[in-house]
Chain A
């Protein structure tokens, strides 16, 4: 069964304290791994898509990496405005359909 597991469930950081979020997946035929950010009361906002092991993508203080079994979202020198829930999703053999993890709630304190 296709599955996505994110850890930790919650992460509290001080401003400037770098860290990583983990997304482990099992899927038959990965066609893409997606990262989203969700702010309270809003819909998930697309961040990155990764397609193959070894691929990396960056956006401001965020960098996403992908291996054959997991993905990491690295946050460098985070700021309070980075506080949000970060969701990981994979696309398997069914075109268009994403399987989402439960998310990591990130809180960055000034």
Chain B
């Protein structure tokens, strides 16, 4: 299995620009999670989906953030407009009940907003 795939691995953009992060979960997993990690705040859950339906988006910092999961093999996290304080590493993870909800993480996208 290829594991969770994220793209791009690095993104540098200017304040005000739109940023789209992409994730392909492990095949057969029915849960997908988006996290943000910073030194100050650690690993924060932004939103998660079950069977492509958003279950909890209480961690989404504000309306500038949005996430979609149009099908079982693809999800996006969009930031519009981006701000310097959005700079962080964004991880996607997936899991399934069959595997005891063990979450498997992707390599992350390092976002820098200047």
Which residues on A are within 8 Å of B, measured CB to CB? 31-32, 34, 42-46, 49, 87, 91, 94-103
Q: How far, in whole Å, are A101 and B43 apart by their CA atoms in the complex?
A: 8
Give the bracket for the number of chain B residues in contact with chain A. 20 to 34
Please name all residues of chain B whose beta carbon is closer than 8 Å to the beta carbon of A49 when the two chains form the complex.
Answer: 100, 102
Interface string of B36-80 (1 = CB under 8 A from A): 000000110100101000011000000000000000000000000
Contact call B43/A44, Cβ cutoff below 8 A:
yes
Contact call B97/A43, Cβ cutoff below 8 A:
no
> In the assembled complex, how far is the CB of residue A36 from the closest CB belonging to chain B, in whole angstroms?
8
Q: How far, in whole Å, are A91 and B31 apart by their CA atoms in the complex?
A: 14
Option from A42, A87, A102 in Cβ contact (under 8 Å) with B108: A42
Contact call A43/B106, Cβ cutoff below 8 A:
yes
Q: How far, in whole Å, are A108 and B106 apart by their CA atoms in the complex?
A: 26
Contact call A95/B101, Cβ cutoff below 8 A:
yes
- Contacts A43-B105, A43-B108 known; A96 to B50 CB distance under 8 Å? yes
Check: B34 CB closer than 8 A to any chain A CB. Answer: no
Contact call A46/B56, Cβ cutoff below 8 A:
no
Closest chain B residue to A94, Cβ basis: B56
